[in-house]
Amino acid sequence: MTEIDAQLALNLSRRFRLIRQLGAGGMGAVYLAEQIAVGNRPVALKVLSRKLLDDPEFLLRFQNEAASTGRIHHANVVTIYESGQADDGTPYISMEFLEGESLRQALARRGALPVTEVAEILQQAARGLNAAHKLGIIHRDLKPDNIFLTYPDDESVAPVSLVSGVRWAPPESRNRTPPAQGGGAVAPTSPSTNFVVKIVDFGIAKLRESGAHTQTGMVLGTPAYMSFEQASGMRSDELDARSDVYSLGVVVYEMLNGRTPFHSETPLGYLRKHMMEEPPPFRAVVPGLGVPPAVERAVMKALVKDRDQRYTSALDFAREMTSATQASLPLPSPLILSPPAAEVSEPLESTKIVRTLKQPPPDSKREGKVNPKDGLNYVWIPPGTFMMGCSPGDTECLDNEKPPHQVTITKGFWLGQTEVTVGAYKRFAGATGRQMPPEPVLEERALNPGWGNEAMPIVNVTWDDAQAYCVWADGRLPTEAEWEYAARAGSTAARYGPLDEIAWYADNSGRQRLDSARIWDAHKSNYLWHINNNGNSLHEVGLKRANDFGLYDMLGNVVMWVNDWYDEKYYKIIPSQDPTGPTTGALRVARGGSWVSYPKYVRVSCRSSAVPAYWDNGLGFRCGGEVFAS
């Protein structure tokens, strides 16, 4: 440790313990530190250089980062814990310590990225930006350096979208190499979507409600990524979210092509190009690149000079990019097996509404009531003890399902007999003014057009959407332990019955029977095409056999959000009574498998996870708790 670092460590010693320097720049340095008062929590500690304390511009920029980022609470934005001053007056910001690499480092290491991976990075970055934009905060300096990719330590976890149907690569298919500097999560060398994107460095972010620091004609940002508005010197108080959309478009262009749309030797040269030149088409930059035309069109719309012709939000850009990516998957010959006649599943009519549920087995009759709020049936789940985690004899368990452990649920609770339906969610939306989520679509095929089939499960909901619904319905999301206890219903097997009798999954949710595991092994990159070509889809709730608690679709149809934060090592320290999961985290747990899952991921112990803002067309939920306890 240098003499300067030693003095800094002394001045910060009442609150932090410096471990090592992570990086340094013109404004100061960033250290890995431990926050003493919070159980020695690891933090990234950004410290402003003392020589800049008398420079009001740099001091303001440093304070602005703490003020802007500190207001944003989102899984895709770095978390600010606190800001303050060391004993000698040096300003600092304590923030979430991220393990992984910047997008800049990933591009330098790998070059241009696959389209599906780019779409996923854009999707997560857009959600983080949307959270900032809703607060009136414009980033103004989006670039690969300020988009960070964190990778989970444990690759055994099933990403929620592998279970529910959007991402392409399973955990076991990924090759890993150590990071350049030891410790922490490692970065994949092959295409991966098992990461969490974090937007960082809001140092020149604009808080739109305050124009006190705006100077007309003052250009802030990184020239290669500036929007047309920034390059032309537009006043800060006139900038809006569309400026960030343009910069995000430059980043996406670079991810796909390996270079930015414009190049110049001088900052002024970049500004002129942003104002006067059109971005070159992909084929002019990298001949034979092979990016689908629909994807290129989606990117070019973000780079239009006239902001009124751009996407109005980062989320709109991400949705268009995702749609173009999914619609452009290659079309190999289908791999469909002829099913036994009794197992063919005919597609459901979109207008059909299920009004009654199949009766559960005679020995499974449980007390049930209708919730007057959402109109759904709820079943009473009695207290009891069970073995949670990998089932005896189950050879497909992932590491995060181990070790199996005994858990006691000490209090009974109510649980929705089915997934939350479209009809029930419409009641919620009507009562609260909340918008319906985007309609489910697979490669331009509508799965429930206009949300017309109200007996289908609601999907494309975030964890926050699910939690808000359950609170409105006088309940809550079940804990992970409650979910597995209810799903097992006394069974110790990997599934509570023969899979085809209890669940809609990839093999049986389409026109003909598939061998989805074989398709995955042979055609990973085209798995979703096979699913779509076979007409696989969501199905109305309650059509399969119930378990012995009288619950339907605990496996298959949709993977379900539960209340817990995710920790791959939680089972090693889990309490034996009423566990509620880790106290904090970046990912939430989802359970159950979906209509697009292959059998490995349709088991009662299988755990998947996703950022709370994630949504897709195989992800839903059901509510529980003490709904009717009084």
Angle at 223 between CA 222 and CA 224, to 5 degrees: 100
Whole-angstrom Cα distance, residue 624 to residue 173? 36
Helix and strand element counts for the chain (H, E): 17, 23
Residue 589 burial by Cβ neighbours in a 10 Å radius (0-12, 13-18, 19+): buried
Whole-angstrom Cα distance, residue 327 to residue 319? 12
Residues whose CB falls within 8 Å of the CB of residue 202, separated by 6 or more in sequence, listed in order: 64, 65, 68, 69, 72, 132, 137, 139
Q: How many residues does the chain have?
A: 630
Whole-angstrom Cα distance, residue 606 to residue 156? 11
CB-based contact 613:127 (threshold 8 Å): yes
Maximum C-alpha span of the chain: 81
Three-state DSSP at 360 gives coil
Output Rg (C-alpha) for the chain, integer angstroms. 26
- The closest alpha carbon to 497, from 569, 604, 413, 422, belongs to 604
Whole-angstrom Cα distance, residue 530 to residue 525? 10
141 labelled catalytic: yes
Q: How many CA atoms lie within 13 A of 465 on its CB side?
A: 26
Whole-angstrom Cα distance, residue 165 to residue 71? 33
**Cα end-to-end distance, the chain, whole Å:** 62
- The closest alpha carbon to 59, from 71, 47, 45, 70, belongs to 47
Residue 289 burial by Cβ neighbours in a 10 Å radius (0-12, 13-18, 19+): middle
Residue 490, CA distances (Å) to 326, 379, 386 in order: 40, 15, 7
Catalytic residue (one of 5, 87, 88, 141): 141
CB-based contact 362:540 (threshold 8 Å): no
Task: Please identify every residue annotated as catalytic.
Answer: 141
